[in-house]
Amino acid sequence: MSILSEEMFFIDNQRSTLEECHKILEFLGYYEVALGQMINKEKTTLFFSKNTEESFQVAIQVTLQVPAICHYDKYVGLPSFVGRNRTACFTKIKERIWARMQGWKEKLLSQAGKEVMIETVVQSIPIYSMNVFKLPMGLCKDIEAMIRKF
């Protein structure tokens, strides 16, 4: 029997009721029976919107038997929330690319070697994030500028 992990439920009291929580538990029960997998409640968390009442949060936590978190930085390696300042959310990508390129400057690479390193390593770093989010144009231009300077 396998266990599913790292589940995160987003709860907004405008759309959620305790009856819906019971339905979620019912469907998860069907899922566990049908596929032989169990939800790992130790790795499952709830995140409530800021307009969710405290009493409603407690009721949902008790119903689902899952803890709540206040702030969730990353989920599966990506930011869980992208606010108005999208560039700040994705600065880690730029920093990772910069760190990789700094290590290469010390090595003596030919022009062809630099191009291969850029194509295989630098351009692959933002691909996972780009599959989920539309990256800000400013960030893309900054990455292009770093590649050109290299």
Q: What is the pLDDT along the chain (150 residues), one digit of tens a residue?
A: 444 444 555 555 545 578 888 888 899 899 999 999 888 888 888 878 778 888 888 888 888 888 887 766 666 667 666 667 777 778 888 888 888 888 776 567 777 887 888 888 888 888 888 888 888 888 889 888 888 887
Distance CA 36, CA 33 (A): 5
* 138, 142, 147, 150: CA torsion to nearest 10: 170
Q: What is the pLDDT of residue 2?
A: 42
* 57, 59, 65, 67: CA torsion to nearest 10: 20
Q: What is the pLDDT of residue 136?
A: 85
pTM above 0.85, yes or no: no
SS3 state at 60:
helix
Do 68 and 30 contact (CB within 8 A), yes or no? no
Do 64 and 21 contact (CB within 8 A), yes or no? yes
Q: What is the pLDDT of residue 5?
A: 45
Q: What is the pLDDT of residue 18?
A: 81
Average confidence score pLDDT of the chain? 78
Pair of tokens at residue 131: 């599959």
Pair of tokens at residue 37: 């997998």
Q: What is the pLDDT of residue 3?
A: 46
| Of 91, 92, 145, 136, the residue nearest 118 (C-alpha) | 145
Q: What is the pLDDT of residue 106?
A: 56
Distance CA 51, CA 27 (A): 27
Q: What is the pLDDT of residue 48?
A: 80
| HEC profile of 12-59 | CCCCCCHHHHHHHHHHHHHHHHHHCEEECCCCCEEEECCCCCHHHHHH
Strand order in the sheet with 68-69: 8-11, 45-48, 68-69
Q: What is the pLDDT of residue 1?
A: 40
Q: How many CA atoms lie within 13 A of 20 on its CB side?
A: 11
